[in-house]
Amino acid sequence: MPAKPKNAKGTLLRLMQLLKPHKVSLIAVAFCILVTTGVSTFGIYLLRSVTSLLESLNAEYVAQGAMPDLSPLIRLLFGMGAMYLASAFCAYMYSRLMMLVSTSVLNKVRKQMFNHMEDLPIRYFDRRTHGEIMSRYTNDTDTLREFFSQTFPQAVSSFLSLCFSLFFMIRLNGWMTLLVIVLVPAMTVATQFIGKRSGASFVAQQRAVGALNGYIEETIEGQRVVQVFCHEDKARQDFEEKNEAVRAAGTRANTFAGMLGPIMNNMSHCFYVMVTLLGAILIVNNTGMNVPTLVAFLPMIRQFTQPISNLAQQFNTIMLALAGAERVFDLLDEPVEEDEGYVTLVNARKDAEGNIVETEERTGLWAWKHPHAADGSVTYTELKGDVVFENVTFGYEPEKTVLHNISLYARPGQKIAFVGSTGAGKTTITNLINRFYDIQEGKIRYDGINIEKIKKDDLRRSLAMVLQDTHLFTGTVRDNIRYGKLDATDADVEKAAKIANADFFIRHLPQGYDTMLTGDGANLSQGQRQLLAIARAAVTDPPVLILDEATSSIDTRTEALIEKGMDALMNGRTVFVIAHRLSTVRNSQAIMVLEHGVIIERGDHESLLAQKGKYYQLYTGMFELS
Amino acid sequence: MQFKRLLGYAGKYKKYLILCPLVMIGEVVMEMLLPTITAALIDNVIPECAQSGSISRVLLYGGVMLVMAVLSAGFGMAGARLSALGGLGFSKNLRKAIFDKVQHFSFKNIDKFSTASLITRLTTDVNQMQMMVMMLVRMAVRSPIMCVMAFVMAWRMNASLLPILAVAIPLLAIGIVIIMNLAFPRFQVMMKKYDALNASVQENLIAIRVVKAFVRAVHEKEKFEASADDVTASQRAAEKIVLWNNPLMQILMNGCIIAVLWLGGNQVIGGTMKLGALSSFIQYITQILMSLMMLSFLFVNFVLARASINRICEVLDEQPEIVSPEQAAETVRDGSIVFDHVGFSYSGDESNLVLEDANFTIRSGETIGIIGGTGSAKTTLVSLIPRLYDVTCGRILVGGKDVREYDIHALRDQVAMVLQKNVLFSGSIKENLRWGDADATDEEITAVCQTAAADEFVRTFPGGYDMDLGQGGVNVSGGQKQRLCIARALLKKPKIIIFDDATSAVDTATDARIREGLRTAMPDTTKIIIAQRITSVMDADRIMVLNDGKITDFGTHEELMERSEIYREVYLSQQKGVA
């Protein structure tokens, strides 16, 4: 439920800032609104001129017995026509301009949100559901769109027409105007009375609808379980309860919303009657008031009351838009991922003496460029993939430590495996290497450089990951593999697919490598998706590879098939492997057994088995991981 | 007609849907009469009283007007109340009808629709219908009556001015048709672009780690900017057409007024028409055009709602694939299972079977393991036992009777299944477990949890068995969720229990303990275990090896090690090097 904005004024000002670049358009819009509102108010005035003209022409006709000269009437009507045309033109112009302004503002807001979102730290995404972030792109921008394209111009128009009619009323008769103004609070009281109840009941309705929709989603998604447990009748009962709650709350909310119109409308009829009465009394008492003035005054009442009831309704929409805008700004104000790194990754070659020299072209040799602020010198270190953890301590929240005093080293080309139960901290370790999270204590060195000094983008470029959950993007199979290296040739892509043993199934897809994948690769099996993710990492050709449960959804027979490819992929690289199945980690140089964030055993397969410790128990199924 | 059929679901709320238009007639009559009385007040009464110096007639007219205004407000408010009662009641019943229908769906029906589309139908589409109906009862009668009344009054007042309408109405119609025809396809394009935009945001939310790991933020930003520009362009293309509505209406309306002023004005000068009549006539013409506009608006909405109507009818028309027979058997004798030359295909096409000629017998109380690669039809085979799908050919006997002879609930109560894609629901752990048996005592719950190796971790939770699981069971880990799902199924005390890869996230040792627990806790129950891990099935009485929809072998571990190459291969790949 969109709550009330916390800081209405600040948010409004910030929204206005967004409109700033469109100043010229907005001035034109204001002018056009001025014209249309002016014309519609003035039109009532003019109508009176026409009737009085007709009256006098009629008198002439009666006096002369022949048709009088109609040219004043023609002139007047042409004038009116021209005015109305101008007003219609202005109406079109302002809505068109406002449409252009609102769409370009929204376009900018969307891009700003997305660009900002991409730079937010992983932590931001950990703490929020996707639905919560999504709704800023959908619901909240929608309310903004309505605000800019409709509510905003309408509110301006209502306000102007209120001023115009007030001006004309005062000119016509002060006493009657005073009466109308005295009556206005009655309208405001009515609006507030209904508005309060309608607002509260809309909140109640929204809550009931939310509960019902949540129930529907959960039950339909779990429909198979419902059926396996013969739970249909119970589901129907629960549903009925929530369904009835929506009906009751919705009926109340819609009743109030529907009442506002007739009440406002007829209140203005009542004003009409009272003003007529006052007018009649004024006329009878010879206060200088006459019939034509009264007749001209009466339509102005509607012209005056209409904007008031409009503004009352627009107020709600404005509040909704501000609440939406606030959530959009919240996202934009979220601090982005910090990066104080200054060591960069550059192409390099070795000169005659074997020294590393920076070059422009791709050589296949990479080096860390390390400028030293102290003496202004620059050193180059070859990128090898040497990773060292020195007494690393980390917690997602400062007070809850997940990893305790972890030290480990991985020499270039070594395969290091992590074994342990869920929650032991295996994935966390890999998330620290690429700096998805920053450590609290200790140091992580990459080729001897503290990774905090390395630019995050360059650090991540030197690592390839195959994650626990495979995610693919809308696009062709080829695009998805190429995601690892945007300038990879078709041949590179196919070679990578062959390494991952994905080539075979890709060729059997309807359009081979050009088959479109949609909805996170929904048309592929879990195993096939994982093969693509492995191919994606293969095409990157990085010195360090992180495989987080990369083969968990591939059955053991298929895994045996890709093992060769995987071995080829891992050859000469530093590899970190996390796997549930112990068969996948056997041939690692070092296996770390983690428990509650502490490395409790380390060694290679044989030595660990010989130790007859936890690894041995785990491997033979004697030890329980909880 | 489909819409009429859906209206039938209003049920006891129908009376409100009928009453509402009647009340709206009252409102529209008041609304039509009020200007007439106003005209009389201005044209006759006020000039009269100005002459006579008495305001009594003004008071009288004013009194009548006040009464009418109050009546009109009353009718209007009643209309609001009735349309809300009727509209919300209607949508409630419609939603209930769809939900009930879905409860009768078989797995095949659900496969056909997909979960997301069923949810949209129950939420967005029903909402669309509700708004449509509420607008309909308030406007469908009101607008035509207003139009006709205004027309009759205008006719009686001065028929010679009516030809103006003969020009204006066709122009209005043509204008609206052109605008709609141009706008409709453009809006559809716009919606597609919107979907694409949302999809790309969603994709980035899901895969944010991939984006960051591969340093592709810039690439994603470029893609998004292109997509956002697409949305903006298509939105402009569509809205720029609809913007013509307002000026079209203004020009027509004011054009009519000027035409009336000119033609009627001549008559006023000539003395054949009164001034008051002229201004009333203008009002009538405005009302006619406004109500026509309203009707066209209603029509457009109806066209837009047609897609929703169709989607809802599709669900309501769907025939449940699997229903209990008449005079169904209510009790399942024992846990024996016979597959008699069973073949199955999801499309029902006998020439393209997913499972071919499955032919075997399982004795009551036996423990059976099933292994096979992805796509070998393991899940398909077991789904046929509780009749989640019907066989395409052959037959399946449970407890000596064809599964199609049982009452579905009776059968499924005795054949419990722990699904591969399992879910827990929001609510406490205890509530979730009671799905298996609503009347289970706390002791029974603890007992099954001990068997499923769930009791040990539930006890460590704050609140224990009363801890809330959150939507979709988000508060427990994957392995814990699987163990709870097993406990839930055990609570049913079934004659047959099927585990479809139900312990994949549980470690080997716990897995073994669960199997041991099952053996002692329910010795008479037939247990069927599908697993990827060879250790999960190794100690079963017999093991079935499935490959590509065919049963290639069925026997004990020792037998299979000897004669099944596939089995041996899997065994070796997983067990190589174990001490």
> What is the percent of chain A with per-residue pLDDT over 70, rounded to a whole number?
93
Mutate to test the interface with A, among B120, B243, B474, B500 (most CBs of A within 10 A): B243
| C-alpha–C-alpha distance, residues A130 and A133, integer Å | 5
Cβ–Cβ gap B228/A125 under 8 Å: no
The 8-class DSSP code of residue B70 comes to H
Task: Specify the amino acid at residue B211.
Answer: V
| pLDDT of B497 strictly over 70 | yes
Burial B401-440 (b: 16+ CB within 10 A, else e): ebbbebebbbbbbbbbbbbbebbbbbbebbbbbbbbbeeb
- Strands A590-595, A598-603: pairing is antiparallel
Q: What is the pLDDT of residue A468?
A: 67
Cβ–Cβ gap A111/B198 under 8 Å: no
| pLDDT of B454 strictly over 50 | yes
* CA pseudo-torsion sign B5, B6, B11, B15: negative
Q: Which of A194-203, A237-246, B60-69 has the lowest mean pLDDT?
A: A194-203
CB < 8 Å to B318, chain A: none
pLDDT tens per residue, range A539-563: 888 888 888 876 666 666 666 666 6
Q: What is the largest CA-CA distance in chain B?
A: 123
> What is the percent of chain B with per-residue pLDDT over 90, rounded to a whole number?
37
Instruction: Tell me the CA distances in angstroms from A561 to A513, A532, A564, A567, A578, one per residue in order.
Output: 21, 15, 7, 11, 19
Comparing alpha-carbon positions, the chain B residue that sits nearest to A420 is B507
- DSSP 3-state assignment of A44? helix
| C-alpha–C-alpha distance, residues B389 and A10, integer Å | 59
Cβ–Cβ gap B412/A228 under 8 Å: yes
* CA pseudo-torsion sign B472, B477, B483, B487: negative
Q: Looking at domain B337-578, does it have CATH number 3.40.50.300?
A: yes
- Strands A403-410, A387-394: pairing is antiparallel
Cβ–Cβ gap A621/B65 under 8 Å: no
pLDDT tens per residue, range A340-362: 889 998 888 888 887 888 888 77
Cβ–Cβ gap A261/B76 under 8 Å: yes
Q: Which residues pair with A449 in a beta bridge?
A: A446
Instruction: Tell me the CA distances in angstroms from B339 to A157, A296, B330, B373, B399, one per residue in order.
Output: 76, 92, 21, 21, 12
Domain B2-317 top-level CATH class: mainly alpha
Selecting from A77, A270, A465 the residue whose C-beta is nearest the C-beta of B262 gives A77
Continuous H helices in B41-141: 46-52, 56-104, 107-113, 115-120, 126-139
Query: How many residues are recorded in chain B?
Result: 579
Q: Which of B304, B243, B339, B290 is nearest to B139 (CA)?
A: B290
The distance of Cα B172 from the centroid of its chain, to the nearest Å, equals 37
pLDDT tens per residue, range B228-280: 999 999 999 998 998 898 889 889 999 999 999 999 999 988 888 887 788 78
**Tokens at residue B84, please?**
């809300």
Q: What is the dihedral of CA A414, A420, A425, A430, to 10 degrees?
A: 20
Cβ–Cβ gap A520/B203 under 8 Å: yes
CB < 8 Å to A52, chain B: none
Cβ–Cβ gap A84/B265 under 8 Å: no
| pLDDT of A380 strictly over 60 | yes
Selecting from A217, A236, A436 the residue whose C-beta is nearest the C-beta of B103 gives A236
**Tokens at residue A206, please?**
């929204």
pLDDT tens per residue, range B184-206: 889 888 888 888 888 888 888 87
CB < 8 Å to A284, chain B: 49-50, 53-55
Mutate to test the interface with A, among B31, B88, B248 (most CBs of A within 10 A): B88
Residues sharing a CB contact under 8 Å with residue B428, sequence separation 6 or more, in sequence order: B463, B465, B466, B467, B468, B469
pLDDT tens per residue, range A13-48: 998 899 999 999 999 999 999 999 989 888 877 887
DSSP letters, A92-159, are HHHHHHHHHHHHHHHHHHHHHHHHHHHTS-HHHHHTS-HHHHHHHHTHHHHHHHHIIIIIHHHHHHHH
Mutate to test the interface with B, among A51, A118, A270, A336 (most CBs of B within 10 A): A118
Confidence of residue B472 (pLDDT cuts 50, 70, 90): low
| C-alpha–C-alpha distance, residues A355 and A357, integer Å | 6
Cβ–Cβ gap A114/B228 under 8 Å: yes
CB < 8 Å to A295, chain B: 42, 46
| C-alpha–C-alpha distance, residues A592 and A416, integer Å | 8
Are A211 and A245 in contact, with CB atoms under 8 Å apart? yes
What distance, in Å, lies between the first and last C-alpha atoms of chain B? Answer: 73
| C-alpha–C-alpha distance, residues B342 and A249, integer Å | 52
Residues sharing a CB contact under 8 Å with residue A185, sequence separation 6 or more, in sequence order: none
Confidence of residue A624 (pLDDT cuts 50, 70, 90): very low
- DSSP 3-state assignment of B478? helix
Cβ–Cβ gap B81/A255 under 8 Å: yes
Q: What is the pLDDT of residue A1?
A: 37
Mutate to test the interface with A, among B425, B461, B567 (most CBs of A within 10 A): B425
The distance of Cα A181 from the centroid of its chain, to the nearest Å, equals 45
Q: What is the pLDDT of residue A552?
A: 62
Selecting from B92, B115, B213 the residue whose C-beta is nearest the C-beta of A220 gives B115
Cβ–Cβ gap B423/A107 under 8 Å: no
Average pLDDT over residues B100-124: 83
> What is the percent of chain A with per-residue pLDDT over 90, rounded to a whole number?
20
| C-alpha–C-alpha distance, residues A183 and A91, integer Å | 31
Distance to chain A for B428, nearest Cα, Å? 15
Cβ–Cβ gap B423/A77 under 8 Å: no
Cβ–Cβ gap A223/B105 under 8 Å: yes
pLDDT tens per residue, range A473-512: 888 999 999 988 888 899 999 998 988 888 888 888 888 8
Cβ–Cβ gap A247/B89 under 8 Å: yes
- Strands A475-476, A516-517: pairing is antiparallel
Extended strands (E) in B313-453:
337-344, 355-362, 367-372, 393-398, 401-402, 415-418
Q: Which of A195, A196, A194, A198 is nearest to A206 (CA)?
A: A198
Cβ–Cβ gap B58/A423 under 8 Å: no
CB < 8 Å to A474, chain B: 199-200, 203
CB < 8 Å to A270, chain B: 66, 69
The 8-class DSSP code of residue A338 comes to P
Average pLDDT over residues A194-207: 82
Cβ–Cβ gap A230/B240 under 8 Å: no
- DSSP 3-state assignment of A448? coil
Are B508 and B453 in contact, with CB atoms under 8 Å apart? no
Q: Which of A445, A446, A434, A436 is nearest to A367 (CA)?
A: A446
Phi/psi of residue B496, nearest 5 degrees? -130, 135
Cβ–Cβ gap A557/B69 under 8 Å: no
The ipTM of this complex is 0.82
Q: Which residue has the higher pLDDT, A493 or A308?
A: A493
CB < 8 Å to A259, chain B: 76-77, 80-81
Average pLDDT over residues B558-567: 90
Distance to chain B for A245, nearest Cα, Å? 10
Selecting from A230, A270, A620 the residue whose C-beta is nearest the C-beta of B413 gives A230
| pLDDT of A444 strictly over 90 | yes
* Residue A23: Cβ-neighbour burial (10 angstroms; 0-12, 13-18, 19+): exposed
| C-alpha–C-alpha distance, residues A388 and B289, integer Å | 80
pLDDT tens per residue, range A150-173: 888 889 899 998 998 898 889 888
Cβ–Cβ gap A461/B215 under 8 Å: yes
What distance, in Å, lies between the first and last C-alpha atoms of chain A? Answer: 40
Cβ–Cβ gap A474/B203 under 8 Å: yes
Cβ–Cβ gap B374/A298 under 8 Å: no
Comparing alpha-carbon positions, the chain A residue that sits nearest to B67 is A270
| C-alpha–C-alpha distance, residues A384 and A573, integer Å | 8
CB < 8 Å to A114, chain B: 201, 204, 221, 224-225, 228
Average pLDDT over residues A269-281: 85
Q: Which of A28-37, A47-56, A233-242 has the lowest mean pLDDT?
A: A47-56
State the CB neighbour count (10 A cutoff) for residue B177. 11
* Residue B321: Cβ-neighbour burial (10 angstroms; 0-12, 13-18, 19+): middle
**Tokens at residue A307, please?**
């904007």
* CA pseudo-torsion sign A274, A280, A285, A290: positive
Cβ–Cβ gap B110/A95 under 8 Å: no
Residues sharing a CB contact under 8 Å with residue A257, sequence separation 6 or more, in sequence order: A198, A202, B80
CB < 8 Å to A455, chain B: none
pLDDT tens per residue, range B382-417: 999 999 899 999 999 999 999 999 998 899 989 998
Average pLDDT over residues A503-525: 80
Are A336 and A119 in contact, with CB atoms under 8 Å apart? yes
Comparing alpha-carbon positions, the chain B residue that sits nearest to A274 is B62
Q: Which of B158, B461, B212 is nearest to A118 (CA)?
A: B212
Average pLDDT over residues A328-350: 89
The distance of Cα B460 from the centroid of its chain, to the nearest Å, equals 38
pLDDT tens per residue, range B115-155: 777 888 888 889 889 988 998 888 888 889 889 988 998 89
| C-alpha–C-alpha distance, residues B126 and B73, integer Å | 30
CB < 8 Å to A579, chain B: none
**Domain edges within chain B:** 2-317, 337-578
- DSSP 3-state assignment of B322? coil
| C-alpha–C-alpha distance, residues A387 and A459, integer Å | 12
Selecting from A222, A224, A295 the residue whose C-beta is nearest the C-beta of B107 gives A224
Cβ–Cβ gap A231/B211 under 8 Å: no
Task: Specify the amino acid at residue B194.
Answer: Y
pLDDT tens per residue, range A360-374: 877 778 889 999 888
| pLDDT of B67 strictly over 80 | yes
Confidence of residue A125 (pLDDT cuts 50, 70, 90): confident
| C-alpha–C-alpha distance, residues A418 and B396, integer Å | 46
- DSSP 3-state assignment of B356? strand
Residues sharing a CB contact under 8 Å with residue A449, sequence separation 6 or more, in sequence order: A343, A368, A370, A381
Q: What is the pLDDT of residue A302?
A: 82
